[in-house]
Amino acid sequence: ENDTETAITEDYLNPYIRYIMQMVKVVLVTVLLTLCVIVDCLPHSSTKMRQKRGFRQSIVDRMGHGFGKRANTDLYDPYLTKTPNLMTADELTTNILNSEDLAQAIVKKFIDLDGDGIISTAELLRTTS
């Protein structure tokens, strides 16, 4: 009697256990998929934009871009074009007398050729060819 009751109970529980196992599988798959979706939707630490080399992110960084560089037009000095290319000996003498810096520059450039700061008689009396 005992064996027949056990066989009936096993036959009766077998479809029930299969159903429960299938439901557990469905629930587990659903929970795993839900967790995957939730994890994917969470903000990642890598969502902050990394600054790429050579590129700047904000307008503040781009404001100083090119600042301090000279354009070709900056090299043009309007004061130089207003001065005549030629001057008389009297005008040059007047300019030398009025400007100590100009006098020193002319002496260093055209008279003190060896740059030692001493003007020899050879430097002073040299002839130009």
* Domain range for 89: 84-129
Task: Look at the chain and report how many structural domains it folds into.
Answer: 2
Domain annotation covers residue 119: yes
Q: Minimum mean pLDDT among 18-32, 70-84, 109-123: which range?
A: 70-84
Provide the whole-model pTM: 0.33
Domain annotation covers residue 59: no
Residue 100 or 57, more confident: 100
Give the C-alpha distances (Å, rounded to integers) separating 113 from 97, 102, 121, 128. 22, 16, 12, 13
pLDDT in tens, 25-39: 999 999 999 998 888
CA atoms within 13 A on the CB side of 105: 7
Instruction: Tell me the range of 5-9, 23-27, 70-74, 83-87 where mean pLDDT is highest.
Output: 23-27
Is 70 exceeded by the pLDDT of residue 107?
yes
pLDDT of residue 97: 93
Instruction: Tell me the H-state helices in 1-129.
Output: 2-41, 59-63, 78-82, 89-98, 100-106, 121-124
26: amino acid identity, one letter: V
